[in-house]
Amino acid sequence: MSLVIDAPIEKVWAALADWESQGDWMLQTTVEVTSQIREGVGTSISAFTGIGKFGVMDHMIVTAWQPPHICDVVHTGKIIKGTGRFELVAIDTDTTRFDWSEEIVAPRALFLLIALGLYAGVRISLTNLSRRLRHRK
């Protein structure tokens, strides 16, 4: 999924790399760093997405870290496994393209059940991020 954000690449990267604040723009999600290191390869992150006690915990470990362009993670949870990538490309000094990709391994029935909601949730979350960064100029 891609989105053009009206903010410089460094500002977009700073928002993404501030793990705990991702819950401010990511729909129904709370994120915490679970390792001693807070950025870079080896950082462990847990993200709960849901309402109340109903939801999914996603455990991740950062596997690539190239500020302000690329962050790769591996999903290591019981339910969510696979890989993810945030990639930023500067279009110009005040505009950034944000590409978010995931390769999730999940039971087919579960994936079919949640795929549309997951897509909509990610799209809404990216729009929230874009709005937050645009209003902070």
- Do residues 29 and 23 make contact, with C-beta atoms less than 8 angstroms apart? yes
Q: Per residue in 56-88, is it b (16+ CB within 10 Å) or e — as a string?
A: bebbbbbeebeebeebbbebeeeebeebbebeb
Residue 16: which domain range? 2-135
pTM: 0.86
Q: How many domains does the chain have?
A: 1
pLDDT of residue 120: 83
List the CATH number of the domain containing 115.
3.30.530.20
Residue 109 pLDDT: 74
Other beta carbons within 10 angstroms of residue 121's beta carbon come to 16
Q: Low-confidence residues of the chain, pLDDT below 50?
A: none
Neighbours of 1 (CB within 10 A): 12
Report strand pairing: 44-51 vs 29-33. Answer: antiparallel
Q: What pLDDT score was predicted for residue 118?
A: 74
The pLDDT assigned to 31 comes to: 96
User: What confidence score (pLDDT) does residue 54 get?
Assistant: 86
